Each structure stands twice: as structure tokens, then as C-alpha cells.
């Protein structure tokens, strides 16, 4: 049982948490310990006294009482920071243009865009026919749709080929179990068709009556079956198109840029397979290239040919083409157009009628390359040492203009168009940031030595006038998993840190792909510990170089980056004053032993399969929950969502409970549970900034920054 006195006391009056203040903290909640054995197939047994905090129904009264007690305790501990929270929130939101709108893009004679009204959390999605002076057609009035809902998100939307119907995927829980709905654009009326428990991607057939969708397993939430639904018919009559038997593969749907094909995309960590059918007659899906371990590819179709990005005999990937006539011959018919390179990693591409736009990574930055059919290449230039270029919405292939965005830690998102034939470049929009002057700040890229000699790229930003004398506080972020690269994007919160004298740093640690595929390979599976030591070594280098000093460092990561935070807290607690871990993946072994949990089976090649002793031992050696010991830890802020489908709420809950019972320090440990959200936190444009202001205020307060 939870100690009643403890969780009742958490609701008492707020008491100060600043170390300089002498007031006593309220007593934190105490979770009961109950015997439970976690067994591995080869015979290993671990005791997990907090396993009882897992409740898949999320209805157990004792579990909910503990979560509510933690929230009440968080309220009490954080109360003294409320003025700082409010100041941060008002600063962040004050930089956001209230009545903003996206840059319109053209598709089949319509201009599509979204716009926010002042104060609105959700956008209005609309289009205009022919020109932006034409009457507006509202496709989705999301503010009205979200009324009365604790969580609301539209994750995908697509207009039918005949331009009369809109299909969209809606989530009102935060568990990423979407319902696909269909709306008549002219009348605004919803069709009776509603497809529940679906992935957020779907595809229209050319008849504008048939929708292909991915049905999820209700327990694992994995996409399992592709079905075809004909509007006006019962769901029970939906045609089974494909069923995936291998739970290590994720499944999605896409339509090619040409609009001529619908493709089923099957993806695991080490293998891909695409099955495509003509959108005009999608009765039979043909495999573009059969799955094979350690063979990855993705495709798109324009102008009678397929363009394919693949790692086939190309660790950093290459681009290949095959004509429609030869596509059935398989991989043997593919021809190189961009060969592989040891120094350049090909991350993405977009085919146009006369050229290719390519996203590639070099020197830790993501840049844009334009490749003409004749083989001539040109690069879009950047003026900053650390930046990111990303292809934007390009719905029409018969144009020389490529739309992309440019960001840096210092530069707000800027949307450009560049002409592939002439090189002319147009600025379409600079994201307005009220009261922000980029000339007040400096961004740089440095290289920190890891303990094995590897140079780790680090993106930094600070206010002009900063001196490397060790006095500045530092906020260091990283992710470092799944090959996901942490690009130096602008965010409206950064100036609030920088104007208070902080240095903000992104450590591009191994496990991402900032430096190519080997960067990822050297940061997962048996080499996962490199991600953790890279982060620690970056911190120590920044201290050595005078960017900060010991006792002035805050660290932050989320999800798999929360695993990083948990490992760092165990391995080098003395290097950090405060750690923020959002939706952290911290109970690695127990989670990966349970194939009913979403993401488990699809990630054996990311973390290892602990049903095998080799991987069990490797994962157990770094799993944050399993390695909590009796020692001093930094101040900790941990956040989760009750309905999280990616990292289940009970992982951080168990971790916090064990930390409370084990750690020897008196530093505050705050646990915030959002009872109405999932992995991404609260929905809406502004609500998430309340959460951000809360953990930022906690970190700043612990660092003595006001």
C-alpha cells in the first residue's frame, strides 16, 4: 500500500526547493514494494518490487492514487518556481505570432494552407481554387473539433483524387490509435464511414471511393493488416489486402509523387520491403524488391521510372533508378545515378520531372543537393557553421522550383524556393518571432574528443558578450538512437535561456546519423554505451574549455533520449546539477522481454533481444532502472503521459519509485504525469509550452538562474 500520510502530505502547502532556502520539503510519495519475478527464457530471474505499478487498463485505484500523489507532490515542490514558470511561458508564447499561417502549396490547381486565429491552440486547414484571392474552402476547423477534448490531434489528411472528399486521421486520447473519417468538402458533412484503430497514414484509390488503410493490433498497436474500405459499405466488408506475420516489421502506406501507385511500406531496423499497385486498379500489389536482412531501401515514382535510395553495397546509401518496364526484374535492373560515398550520407530525396532534390549529410550538417538529369550537381549554400536544410512540401513534380526550409539554433525557420535550372532563390517566409533579434546571438560548431578518440560534433548557441571563463550555466541536449539525427533547429524557448546567460548545446552523439551510417552502428546494440559516454565526454570537454563549470550543467533528453539521461545519471551523476528526463525509456530489459508492448518486437535490432543471454547481459549492464544504486543523484525532473504508447507510463513510474527508495541525496526529484496525454505530451499549439516552462523553471532554479 502507499503510505497514506506521505501522499496526503504531498497536497499540503508549497514549500521552497531552492538549496539556499532552509524550509523543509514536503515528504514525497512512497510506493509499496510487492514481490514479483521477471524471468527470461534462458533461466535468468530478477526481482521487480515495483512491477505492480503496471496496469494496462490504467484503472487500478492504488496505481492511480500513487500517480495523483506524485502530481500533488510535484505541485508542492514546484510552487516556488511558479513566477518563473509564468515568466518563461509568457516569453515563449510572446515570441509566437498568434494569427500565423503556413506557406500555401499547390496541388492540382488548389492552394492548400493552414492558419491560426489569435489565441487558438489548433489550426484551420483550408484551400483556395486557382489563386489565393479565390474564396476560402475550410477543410478542417480544428478549434471547433477539439472543443471539450482533453487531447486532440489530426495526424494525416488527404483530398480524394476527384477533389470532393477529405479523409483525415484523428486521435482524441494520445495513444496513437487513430480513427479515419471522411468529410464532404462542399457540404461539410461527415460520411458515416469511420475506421477505428488505424495507423495515421492511408491512401485513396483513383475511384475516390476506396481508401486503403492499416489496421492495428489492439494490444501491441502494431500495424498488422492493410485493408480496402469502400465508402458507404460496412467495415465488416472491407477487403483484406495484405497481412504482415513478422512482428519485427512496422507497416505504413504511401502514394508516390506521380500519384500513379499506392505502396505498402514494411520496415524493420535492418530490412525493408515495398509492395506497390497502380492507383487506377489497386487489386494486386507487386514487390519492388523482396526483404533481405541488412538490405534497406525506399522508393518514389515520377516520369515513368522509380528512384530508389538503398544501402545495397552502400553503407552511406546510394540512389538508383529503374524504368517501369524493368521494375519487375527486381534489384538486378537497378542502375546507379548517385554512387555511395564514405564521407556523404544520403538521407532523403524528392524526384522531379527533370532532376532530383537530395538531402545529404556532410560534416555533421544536413544540406540540399540538386542533381540534373545530365548529371550536373549544385548545392544550396549556407552561411552558418551549424544548420539544417530540409525538403518542404513539393506536391507537383513538373516544376523547376524546389521548396525547402532552413534552420539553425540562431535563425528561425525560413522557407525558400530554389530554381534547379537557374539557381535563383526566393524567400517565401521567415517564421515571425516577435521581439527576437538574431544578431544578439552566436552559434558555433565545435568537436569534442570522446574517450576513444572519436570527435563528437557539438552545436552551440549563446548571447554575444559571452566569455569562456566557466561562469555560464549550460543546458545540454541529446537523443542518439534509431539513427535519428538531432539537427540544430530554432525554437522560441532558446532566447529565454540565452538571455539569462546560459549556453545551449546539442551533443550529436553516436546512435544518430549526423556523421553517416557508421555513426549509428557505433551507437546501438552492443555499442550502445558509446552514446552515454559520448554525452558525458562532451560535458567534460565543455567544462574544460570554459563554456561552463561543474555544478552549472543541466542535461535533458526524451524517450530514447530519456534512456540516455537515466544511464548518465547512473554513470556520472557528479557531472550534472540537474537532469530532465521526458517520457524516458528506462526499464529496458523488462520491456524488451514483453512482446505485447508496442515497439518491443520491432526493436530487437536496435537494442538486442534479451531472450538471448548475450543481449540480456549487455542491456542489463546499462538499463537505468536496473542500475539505480545507493548514491547521490542530481536534481531530477521526470515527465510522462498516462496514455503513452511508445514508452509506457509505468517505466518512469517504477524508476522514480526506486530512486526515491534508494538514492542517498536530498536533491529534489519531481515526477509530472500528464493524465490526458501520450508520448508527445499535451496537444495544442500553446499547451505544450506550459509543460516546457515548468521543467525549464525547475532546471534554472536548481542552477540558481532567475
Residue 81: how many other CB atoms lie within 10 Å: 26
Burial category of 612 from C-beta neighbours within 10 Å (exposed 0-12, middle 13-18, buried 19 and up)? middle
Burial category of 449 from C-beta neighbours within 10 Å (exposed 0-12, middle 13-18, buried 19 and up)? middle
Say how far apart CA 357 and CA 85 lie, in whole Å. Answer: 43
CB 172 within 8 A of CB 158: no
In terms of phi and psi (left: phi > 0; alpha: psi -120 to 50; beta: otherwise), the region of 316 is: alpha
Q: Is-catalytic flag, 229?
A: no
Alpha-helical (H) ranges within 172-247 are none
Which of 271, 559, 623, 635 is catalytic? The answer is 559
Which of 300, 522, 534, 644 is catalytic? The answer is 644
Provide the grid cell at 102.
Answer: 503556413
Provide the grid cell at 528.
Answer: 550502445
Say how far apart CA 397 and CA 258 lie, in whole Å. Answer: 7
Q: Is-catalytic flag, 679?
A: yes
Q: Is 14 helix (H, G, I), strand (E, B) or coil?
A: coil
Task: Find the angle CA(121)-CA(123)-CA(126) to the nearest 5 degrees.
Answer: 170
CA distances from 607 to 12, 45, 62 (A): 43, 20, 32
DSSP strands (E only) in 398-552: 401-407, 414-419, 425-430, 441-449, 455-463, 474-477, 503-507
Q: Is-catalytic flag, 36?
A: no
Which of 229, 301, 508, 679 is catalytic? The answer is 679
CB 522 within 8 A of CB 516: no
Q: Is 265 helix (H, G, I), strand (E, B) or coil?
A: strand
Among the listed residues 93, 158, 138, 95, the one whose alpha carbon sits nearest the alpha carbon of residue 120:
93
Give one DSSP letter per residue of 71-126, joined into a string.
Answer: HHHHHHHHGGGHHHHHHHHHHHHHTB-TT-BPPPEEETTEEEEEE--TT-SSPEEE
- Specify the residue for cell string 492552394: 111
Angle between the 61-78 and 687-703 helix axes, to the nearest 10 degrees? 60
Which residues, 6+ apart, have CB-to-CB distance to 705 below 8 Å?
A: 473, 500, 501, 502
Any idea which residues carry the catalytic annotation?
A: 559, 644, 679
Amino acid at each position: 500500500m502507499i503510505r497514506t500520510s506521505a501522499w496526503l502530505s504531498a497536497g499540503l502547502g508549497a514549500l521552497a526547493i531552492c538549496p539556499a532556502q532552509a524550509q523543509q520539503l514536503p515528504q514525497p510519495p512512497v510506493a509499496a514494494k510487492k514481490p514479483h519475478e521477471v524471468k527470461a527464457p534462458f533461466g535468468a530471474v530478477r526481482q521487480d518490487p515495483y512491477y505492480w505499478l503496471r496496469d494496462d487498463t490504467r484503472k487500478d485505484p492504488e496505481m492511480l492514487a500513487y500517480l495523483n500523489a506524485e502530481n500533488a507532490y510535484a505541485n508542492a515542490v514546484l510552487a516556488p518556481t511558479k513566477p518563473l514558470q509564468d515568466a518563461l511561458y509568457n516569453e515563449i508564447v510572446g515570441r509566437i505570432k498568434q494569427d500565423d499561417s503556413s506557406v500555401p502549396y499547390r496541388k492540382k490547381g488548389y492552394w492548400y494552407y493552414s492558419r491560426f486565429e489569435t489565441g487558438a491552440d489548433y489550426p484551420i486547414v483550408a484551400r483556395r481554387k486557382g489563386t489565393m484571392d479565390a474564396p476560402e474552402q475550410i477543410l478542417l476547423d480544428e478549434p471547433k473539433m477539439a472543443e471539450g477534448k482533453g487531447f486532440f490531434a489530426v495526424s494525416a489528411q488527404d483530398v480524394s483524387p476527384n477533389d470532393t472528399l477529405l479523409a483525415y486521421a484523428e486521435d482524441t486520447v494520445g495513444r496513437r490509435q487513430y480513427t479515419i473519417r471522411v468529410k464532404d468538402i462542399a457540404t461539410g458533412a461527415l460520411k458515416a464511414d469511420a475506421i477505428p484503430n488505424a495507423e495515421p497514414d492511408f491512401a485513396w484509390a483513383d475511384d475516390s471511393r476506396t481508401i486503403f488503410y492499416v489496421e492495428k493490433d489492439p494490444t501491441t498497436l502494431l500495424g498488422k493488416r492493410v485493408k480496402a474500405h469502400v465508402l458507404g459499405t460496412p467495415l465488416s466488408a472491407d477487403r483484406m489486402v495484405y497481412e504482415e506475420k513478422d512482428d519485427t516489421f512496422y507497416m505504413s502506406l504511401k502514394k508516390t509523387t506521380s500519384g500513379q501507385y499506392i505502396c505498402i511500406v514494411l520496415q524493420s531496423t535492418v530490412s525493408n520491403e515495398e509492395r506497390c499497385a497502380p492507383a487506377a486498379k489497386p487489386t494486386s500489389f507487386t514487390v519492388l524488391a523482396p526483404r533481405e536482412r541488412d538490405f534497406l531501401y525506399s522508393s518514389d515514382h515520377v516520369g515513368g521510372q522509380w528512384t530508389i535510395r538503398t544501402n545495397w553495397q552502400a553503407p552511406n546509401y546510394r540512389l538508383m533508378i529503374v524504368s517501369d518496364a524493368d521494375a519487375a526484374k527486381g534489384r538486378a535492373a537497378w542502375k546507379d545515378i548517385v554512387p555511395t560515398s564514405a564521407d556523404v550520407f544520403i538521407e532523403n530525396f524528392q524526384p522531379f520531372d527533370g532532376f532530383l532534390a537530395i538531402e545529404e549529410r556532410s560534416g555533421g550538417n544536413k544540406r540540399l543537393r540538386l542533381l540534373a538529369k545530365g548529371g550536373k550537381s549544385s548545392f544550396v549554400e549556407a552561411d552558418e557553421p551549424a544548420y539544417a536544410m530540409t525538403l518542404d512540401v513539393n506536391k507537383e513534380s513538373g516544376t523547376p522550383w524546389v521548396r525547402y526550409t532552413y534552420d539553425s539554433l540562431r535563425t528561425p525557420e525560413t522557407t525558400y524556393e530554389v530554381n534547379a535550372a537557374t539557381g535563383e532563390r526566393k524567400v517565401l517566409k521567415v517564421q515571425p518571432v516577435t521581439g527576437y533579434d538574431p544578431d544578439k546571438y552566436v552559434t558555433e560548431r565545435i568537436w569534442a574528443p570522446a574517450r576513444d578518440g572519436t570527435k563528437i560534433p557539438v552545436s552551440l548557441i549563446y548571447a554575444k558578450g559571452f566569455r569562456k571563463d566557466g561562469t555560464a550555466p549550460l543546458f545540454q541536449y541529446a537523443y542518439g538512437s534509431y539513427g535519428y539525427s538531432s539537427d540544430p533547429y530554432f525554437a522560441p524557448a532558446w532566447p529565454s535561456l540565452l538571455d539569462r546567460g546560459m549556453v545551449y548545446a546539442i551533443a550529436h552523439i553516436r546512435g544518430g546519423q549526423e556523421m553517416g551510417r557508421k555513426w549509428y552502428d557505433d551507437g546501438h546494440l552492443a555499442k550502445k554505451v558509446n552514446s552515454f559516454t559520448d554525452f558525458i565526454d562532451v560535458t567534460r570537454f565543455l567544462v574544460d574549455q570554459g563554456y561552463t563549470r561543474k555544478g552549472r550543467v543541466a542535461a535533458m533528453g526524451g524517450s530514447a533520449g530519456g534512456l540516455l539521461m537515466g544511464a548518465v545519471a547512473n554513470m556520472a551523476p557528479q557531472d550534472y546539477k540537474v537532469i530532465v528526463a521526458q517520457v524516458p525509456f528506462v526499464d529496458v530489459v523488462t520491456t524488451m522481454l514483453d512482446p505485447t508492448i508496442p515497439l518491443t518486437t520491432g526493436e530487437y535490432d536496435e537494442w538486442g533481444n534479451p531472450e538471448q543471454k548475450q543481449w540480456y547481459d549487455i542491456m542489463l549492464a546499462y538499463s537505468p532502472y536496473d542500475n539505480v544504486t545507493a548514491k547521490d543523484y542530481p536534481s531530477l525532473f521526470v515527465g510522462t503521459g498516462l496514455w503513452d504508447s511508445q514508452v509506457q507510463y509505468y517505466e518512469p513510474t517504477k524508476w522514480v519509485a526506486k530512486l526515491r527508495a534508494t538514492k542517498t541525496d536530498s536533491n529534489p526529484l519531481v515526477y509530472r504525469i500528464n493524465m490526458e496525454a501520450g508520448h508527445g505530451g499535451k496537444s495544442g499549439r500553446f499547451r505544450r509550452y506550459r509543460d516546457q516552462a515548468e521543467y525549464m523553471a525547475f532546471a534554472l532554479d536548481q542552477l540558481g538562474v532567475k
